[in-house]
Structure 1
Amino acid sequence: MNTLPTLTFPAWMLWVLGFLLSVPLHGQVSIQEVSGQITDQKTGQAIPFASVGVLGKPSGTVANEEGRYQLRSHQPLDSLLISAVGYQTTRVAVTGASLSVALLPATATLSEVVIRAGENPAFRILKEVHARRTTNDFRQLSGYTYEAYSQLSVGITQMDERFQQLKPVRTILQAVPKESRENLPVFASETVSRVYARRHPQLSKEEILKTNISSVGITDDSFIAMFTGAGFNTINFYENEVSLFRKAFVSPLASHGRQAYTYFLADTTQIEGRTCYTLEFDPKQEHDLVFRGRLFIDTLTYALAGIDARLGAEANINFIKGIDLSITYELSPAQVWIPSLTQLTIQASEVVKHTFGARVEYATSLHHFTAEEPRNVRFFSTNVELAADRQQASDAFWQEHRERMPSQELEKSRHLIDTVRNVPLVKKATQAAELVLNGGYLPVVKGLETGSVFSAWAYNRVEGHRLRWGLQTNASFSKTWQLSAYAAYGTRDQVWKRGGEIRFIPKRAPLTLVTLRHTYDLEQVGLRLDESGDDPFLKITNRFSRFRQAYYWGETVLAGQQDLGPNFTQTVGIRQQSLAFLFPIWLPASETGVATLTNLWTRELFIETRYAPGRLPNRRVNNRKVRQRPAETAPIVTLRYQYGTTYEPSGASSSYPSTTYHKWQLQLDHAVLWGLGGRTNYTVRAGYTPSTLPYPLLTVHQGNPTPFYNRSAFNLMQYAEFVSDRYVSLAVEHKFEGLFTNRIPLIRYWGWRNFITGKVLYGQLSAANQRLLIQPEGKPGIESLQSLPYVELGYGFENVFRIARIEALHRLTYRDHPNAQRFAIKVSFPLGL
């Protein structure tokens, strides 16, 4: 049931006063009314749906199908602006209650517009916008550059009364002025940057020239590159989808926008001295990923001159109460429209009940925009460059740039942040937050951290109680060298495990990385923990596995990585590994006999090429993940080749003779956006090993018999159930983003979103490798896929309790295998909105 919000006394008084002032009192202000007809000056025919605006006021009306209009106003009407598609905008003085206007056809080269009775006039304008989008959008230039000034502030808002009464919170609130407690700032920054871009291929580069940051907790100023001149200026309403927070919102200018929005031509208004149509748009289904707001379309060029868009709390996005986005465009000397001012406000709700919300305010202004010849592709080899003197700027420098912004509250926020940051309790809370964000590592001294507390203990049947601890450096130690090491011990196997890594970054333009790594740890055939993707939850929980086919794995790697241009990354390296099996692997020793393989040693040379067009910069350039992120919908192609040999170290023996081998692997990752239909992610993998090898050196397809979903694995396959030396697989996931669940009241209230998944695997094993698969009689073992592919399908809901994903899975083939899981329900905890 809808209820009115509880109003405090001042708010109640304002509400009553506003209501009384809005009631028209007799004799207070007279209503002026003007009516008439809009016609063509040459033909005398009526002009349907002409816009009638009040000069200097954001109000007006639209003529009907016969060109007749009626305008009523509580304010005096001096002059009107009359405009229509294909006609010159005309200003006329109001001389009486009846005013008919004849318009001259526009002399500009506007295309012919056919007006049909009953057609929404907004549709005609949208068609003209679509026809001219390539002319008006600055991103269509072959090359351009601009300077940007950006502000970002984050504040704590809407503190619950019970939360404010907590002693630690009272301590913080007592340290700041009372008027600032409604929006308590915790982060404020400003940045000046220069952005370069080219069209073919689509590349961009940003130079962070100056930064000025005040924060409670964040000390790495490279973080600010996420919110600079190139950040939110990638928002393009001319595209069908607008990407925010990895969500694809339907643009009100989308070619299929009529499916998502209702449009209304409200009036005309003046923006920067230009007459613009005002088109209001409302979502047909407010729970979808859509906006509500107004478009301002220039009447002469049909360019997007401005937009006010809002996303309400009804949208199915976690922790977001509202998003307000306002962009003002201006015509540049290059005759394209640029976003001269972008303002974004995000109101976040409570993550934990009865605590507080947050408010994020971002603004950026563009100036010195210049169209230029496309710069050489090599110029864009680095996407973000941080100037060495970026933190050196005078107060006068910043004050000059702040005057370009409509709000001058940034300096006030800085002083409040300094006050809050010095409260002892805040320092402790900051340390706790850094512990979580830093993966469980604790600071020891400047530049050195120890941990992780999240992986300090585990238990499995091989190791018993596993105890692990490590050290790593951070950016304070060096921005060129990254060092890490760990040691682990099992109380049952009483074996010490270890690992260490040295990373050297000799240069960042182009990005070059040299890595030396050594590892000795417990692994399981069919589940390499270092191949669990970027999911830290899986890496921790898999240490609790049963390790049925365990082995001690040693690896030493020396590799070099370099960007070969803006889209390619090349990696070359050598690797030596050892495998000591804790379970029997049988090999044919003669025509009738068998031998047991207990150890394997290999040396490899590997080459990997990664193609990721349109990739985005890894904005935190000092993060341990140096590789850059791909663009959200860009295909990523990875090709890897390995040449290796098996060998016997001095003083050791193996049941398998020395041999050479080759391996090829190909992977394609891609995402497709379908507007209201949702989002499809798919991955294609293929591999070929034309050599004869024991099956642990072939492709043992990754299974996952645990109750936790693993995106990289076949989730109804057992560990080491299938092996191939040639294979191709397809994994598809489609997220409907609430397309169906938003229309079911109870499910919509819960915020659940449904999805479907499917995985298919074709694989073969050569006759030579098939002969090496020997299992003791009566015991199930690893097998090769036959002519029938392995198939599993799934469906389920994500965003359960805002954090969980629950999926039901069906195995459609090889259902009669021993211990086969035909059906399972699995859970995971992906992070996201």
Structure 2
Amino acid sequence: MRRFNLLKLIVCLLTLSVQLCLAQQKITGTVVDKDSGRGIPLASVKLAGSAQGTSCDSSGRFSFTIDRGLPIQLAVSAIGYEEQVVLYSSPQEKILVELNNNEHLIDAVEISRKQKYRNRNPAVDLIHQVIKHKRANRLENQPRLSFQQYDKLQFGLVNPSEKYQSRLGSMGFFFKNVDTLTSPGDRLLTIFMQEQLSDVYSKNDPKAFKKRVKSIKQTNFDQRYVNNHNIQSYLSYLFQDVEIYDENIFLINKLFLSPIAGNAPVFYKYYITDTIQTDEGRCIQLQFEPRNKTDLLLSGSLQITMDGRFAVRRADLHANKEANLNWVNEIQISLQYRPNAQHRMVMERSDVDIMFGTNRRDAVYGRKTTLNYDYNFAPTFSDEVFAGAPTEILPSAQGDAQVVESRRPIQLSTVESNVYTNIDSLNNNRTFNTMLAVGYLLGQGFYNAGRVEFGPLEYLYSQNNIEGNRIRISGRTTAAFSEKLFLEGYVAYGTDDKNVKYFIRPTLALNGQSVATFPAHFIQVAVQHDIFDPGRNLGFQKGDSFFQSIRRNRPTKWMDTYAYQLKHLIEFGNHVSFQTSFIHHRRRAIGDLRFVSSGDASLNVPDINSNELEFILRWAPKEKFYYRNLVRRTIVEKYPVFNLQYNRGLEGFWGGDYAFDALRAFVSKRFFLKQLGFADMTLAGGKIWGTLPYPLLELPDVFREEDRHIIDFSMMRSMEFVADEYIRFSLEHQLEGFIFNKIPFVKKLNLREIWGAKMFYGRLTDGNNPYLSNDVIRFDRDKDGQIMTHVMNRSPYWEGKVGIDNIFRMLRVEYIRRLNYLGLPNVDRDSYRVSLHLNF
């Protein structure tokens, strides 16, 4: 009986399965525009009265399977078309559905936070098509291309107090020139403006890009106090070119994920809100917003063409108020594209507006407007046009300001035109110049006295265990003295040792240009007599500032040093530079420092004298920097910086006691990690051949003025380690609030996470090891009789840190811990550091 029942059950199941298979029908077809016959992408095809169905692909084709018998009815719809119900009564190979255009029919889509967002919806399907076609739509993928570009950059005050006009006396006229039209409800006072015209070239195989700036017109302040190049560089850095097709949009030192990036649907929500009929055809408008508004994401709308290319016609973007940003009230971006003869969308205009501050009463604004015009998709130009840096400012650009005036594609408003004349008048105002002088003294530490300026202020007084109170008078010449000859120097005096120290360094241009501007070509001579801690090189700022003298691991051992240097530097347009130097040092131990022979404890080595030739090859591709005279600070972007240095010791010449060879290499780079913030990495290594006393070897804790790859070991004691083969590594990762932004309540504080690690590993060969060699000098001892310098074992030195940034928008707190070599004398395991850190 049981076998019979089981057999009946099996037969019933098989019968049901056969019936289901027979009932399933595969339906395929195409949905097209009745007027044009063109397929309608993303049209919806559903079984009438149910949710079963599918969406069309980019060509209007669809295919799906139903689980019921025929006949059936299919409901076919698309935004901007009348819905049509189609009877499907017998199996067919293909269905053709023609929809009637109805320009007056717009299916409104209500965006409601009460409804659960679905990851699969027509808007997301459309974005996936945009992402799929990104490569074909990118302008840079054109075989060859050229166009004209006009940039206008503005910076100024928002709603300046009307009291300025009366209380600032002779400066009051400047505050009357306000713009009340551009930003409704706000009064904008422009204090800096720059316009430039450029020729832009690109090709795809191989990829190359070139922007030649041929004319610049900008406001200029008194160069005694303001470096106008730095203002332009800083604003250009904050307001970089925006391209919606890039994976990330870089603004104000932050990376915002593009709404059409490859992984954008993971971070954004999308909604179809409208269909628009334009001269170029039909477009669908999408609205997008972040899934988490505290992340570095944008909100806004996109217009997508429905011609099968799925190109962006217009993009309006803005930052969210909840985003983890400082000193930013508002960011607005508008991008407009237009089709070329091949119906490919090319960027026509971009507008980027940022309002900085804490509220509308205390705010400044920045705006960048870019127009691209006169596109040529079959240009004839030589590949030599791409030589040099990707962006090149022609030498004649500053002098050809009238070209901007005569050829600008959009005319300035009356208010904008007055900016240039008002700044010129302001530069002749005595009150304004006094304000600039005070600001320059407080900000840069220099007092300008015309042809000479005195400073830096922080080097006026310092203290150490040899000199006691150190008083230093220092200064440098300015452009008013000469642009081709630059002098800097100081005189210092210690109240305890009662000795005078000095430094003088003239620099002479060899290319007939200013010694400070890029590309530079100059020769330089330096003479210095001062006390140096072991391992330090000569320099104008050699670490004797007030702040250096109060740091935890400040030096305690000193050498009385005479140093001379002859240097030649040449820079090339592709940011390659080559430096050659001859350097002479005479060093004598002073204070409680002793140079004791490792072979005879009773023998003191009176002097350590060296002569060396130095060659430095540096490459900083696409580098931008701020500069003041000869001091430059690289604007950190995604591009690496490389250094390769070779030194050759000359024995027997001018009292030189040592022959040696040294090779050092450095590289530093910033990695932008999208929503995970960014990380700064520095890697350095080197090897020294020859028998040398340890002050001439690698001491990892020594600050060098010319070293742009500084790794500052916070928990390492002065002169603690020495090596003649070494590697240094540093990594600092700023997550920009990625973790804190996910924690309820905590995310309202806009805190940001930091972590980092630093490593040093070095070996000391037997010939330079005082425990194994009789030809060098012994390691010195501290005041407690403990040996200060150590040879590393097989383990590298490590220290790590974690921290919280952006506390009250300005404070950073870090916990730093030394991870090994804890058994050495007088070392600290950990420390806390609180610092002022202002950033967007």
TM-score by length of 2: 0.76
| Structure 1 Cα separation of the partners of residues 144 and 549 of structure 2 | 51
CA drift of 1:172 comes to 3.6
Closer, same or farther: CA 579–120 of 1 in aligned 2, 3 Å = farther
Give the counterpart of 1:484 among 472, 478, 488. 488
CA drift of 1:365 comes to 1.1
Give the counterpart of 1:514 among 510, 513, 523. 523
Match of residue 25 from structure 1: none
CA drift of 1:363 comes to 0.9
Closer, same or farther: CA 522–48 of 1 in aligned 2, 3 Å = same
Give the counterpart of 1:429 among 435, 440, 443. 435
Q: How does 1:45-60 map to 2 (within 5 A)?
A: 49-50=42-43
Q: How does 1:642-791 map to 2 (within 5 A)?
A: 642-645=647-650, 658-702=657-701, 712-744=711-743, 747-771=746-770, 772=776, 773-775=778-780, 778-791=785-798
Contact 2:33 2:99 in 1 (8 A): no
Partner of 2:747, secondary structure, is helix
Partner of 2:474, secondary structure, is strand
Partner of 1:428, secondary structure, is helix
1:789-831 superposed Cα distances (whole Å, 9 cap, x missing partner): 2111110112233333221111111111111111111234445
Partner of 1:689, secondary structure, is strand
1:137-179 superposed Cα distances (whole Å, 9 cap, x missing partner): 2233466443222222222124579x97995599748962798
Match of residue 176 from structure 2: 176
Counterpart of 1:632 in structure 2: which amino acid? E
Structure having the higher Rg? 2
Match of residue 575 from structure 1: 583
| Structure 1 Cα separation of the partners of residues 502 and 353 of structure 2 | 47
1:58-115 superposed Cα distances (whole Å, 9 cap, x missing partner): xxxx9999766699xxxxxxx9799xxxx999983569999xxxxxxxxxxxxxxxxx
| Structure 2 Cα separation of the partners of residues 347 and 404 of structure 1 | 24
Q: How does 1:215-364 map to 2 (within 5 A)?
A: 222-223=229-230, 226=233, 234-269=241-276, 273-300=280-307, 301-332=309-340, 337-350=345-358, 356-364=362-370
- Structure 2 gaps of 5+ residues are 1-29, 45-54, 63-73, 84-95, 108-117, 181-185, 704-708, 771-775
Give the counterpart of 1:459 among 447, 458, 463. 463
Counterpart of 1:571 in structure 2: which amino acid? Q
Counterpart of 1:687 in structure 2: which amino acid? G
1:235-264 superposed Cα distances (whole Å, 9 cap, x missing partner): 333232222222222111211212321112
CA drift of 1:675 comes to 1.2
1:443 aligns with 2:448: yes
Match of residue 101 from structure 1: none
Contact 2:106 2:275 in 1 (8 A): no
Q: How does 1:391-406 map to 2 (within 5 A)?
A: 391=399, 393-394=401-402, 398=405, 401=408, 403=410
CA drift of 1:754 comes to 0.9
Partner of 1:723, secondary structure, is coil
Closer, same or farther: CA 233–675 of 1 in aligned 2, 3 Å = closer
Closer, same or farther: CA 761–70 of 1 in aligned 2, 3 Å = closer
Contact 1:606 1:642 in 2 (8 A): yes
Counterpart of 1:730 in structure 2: which amino acid? F
Give the counterpart of 2:597 among 562, 571, 588. 588
Partner of 1:584, secondary structure, is coil
Counterpart of 1:309 in structure 2: which amino acid? L
| Structure 2 Cα separation of the partners of residues 470 and 643 of structure 1 | 32
| Structure 2 Cα separation of the partners of residues 585 and 91 of structure 1 | 96
Contact 2:215 2:400 in 1 (8 A): no
Contact 1:176 1:420 in 2 (8 A): no
Match of residue 630 from structure 2: 624
1:449-505 superposed Cα distances (whole Å, 9 cap, x missing partner): 232223222233322222223332344544444332222222222222222333344
| Structure 2 Cα separation of the partners of residues 322 and 712 of structure 1 | 36
1:770-803 superposed Cα distances (whole Å, 9 cap, x missing partner): 1243456942220111112211111011223333
| Structure 2 Cα separation of the partners of residues 96 and 617 of structure 1 | 52
Contact 2:170 2:429 in 1 (8 A): no
CA drift of 1:736 comes to 0.8
Q: Percent identity?
A: 21
Partner of 1:349, secondary structure, is strand
Match of residue 20 from structure 2: none
Give the counterpart of 1:189 among 194, 218, 237. 194
Partner of 2:556, secondary structure, is coil
| Structure 2 Cα separation of the partners of residues 425 and 374 of structure 1 | 53
Match of residue 132 from structure 1: 133
Closer, same or farther: CA 781–47 of 1 in aligned 2, 3 Å = same
Counterpart of 2:158 in structure 1: which amino acid? T
| Structure 2 Cα separation of the partners of residues 45 and 379 of structure 1 | 45
CA drift of 1:382 comes to 8.3
Match of residue 124 from structure 2: 123
Give the counterpart of 2:215 among 205, 209, 216. 209
CA drift of 1:551 comes to 2.0
| Structure 1 Cα separation of the partners of residues 662 and 396 of structure 2 | 44
Contact 2:727 2:761 in 1 (8 A): yes
Closer, same or farther: CA 81–429 of 1 in aligned 2, 3 Å = farther
- Structure 1 gaps of 5+ residues are 1-37, 52-61, 72-78, 99-116, 651-656, 705-709
| Structure 2 Cα separation of the partners of residues 225 and 278 of structure 1 | 36
Counterpart of 1:493 in structure 2: which amino acid? D
| Structure 2 Cα separation of the partners of residues 256 and 332 of structure 1 | 29
Closer, same or farther: CA 229–738 of 1 in aligned 2, 3 Å = closer
| Structure 2 Cα separation of the partners of residues 220 and 792 of structure 1 | 38
Closer, same or farther: CA 131–572 of 1 in aligned 2, 3 Å = farther
Give the counterpart of 2:533 among 508, 512, 524. 524
1:503-561 superposed Cα distances (whole Å, 9 cap, x missing partner): 3443489653433333333332366696999xx9x955114455311223333222233
Partner of 1:433, secondary structure, is helix
| Structure 1 Cα separation of the partners of residues 40 and 345 of structure 2 | 29
| Structure 1 Cα separation of the partners of residues 106 and 187 of structure 2 | 49
Give the counterpart of 1:825 among 817, 832, 835. 832
Contact 1:640 1:665 in 2 (8 A): yes
CA drift of 1:669 comes to 1.3
Match of residue 24 from structure 1: none
CA drift of 1:215 comes to 5.8
| Structure 2 Cα separation of the partners of residues 757 and 319 of structure 1 | 26
1:146 aligns with 2:147: yes
TM-score by length of 1: 0.77
Match of residue 365 from structure 1: 371
Counterpart of 2:245 in structure 1: which amino acid? Y
Match of residue 5 from structure 2: none
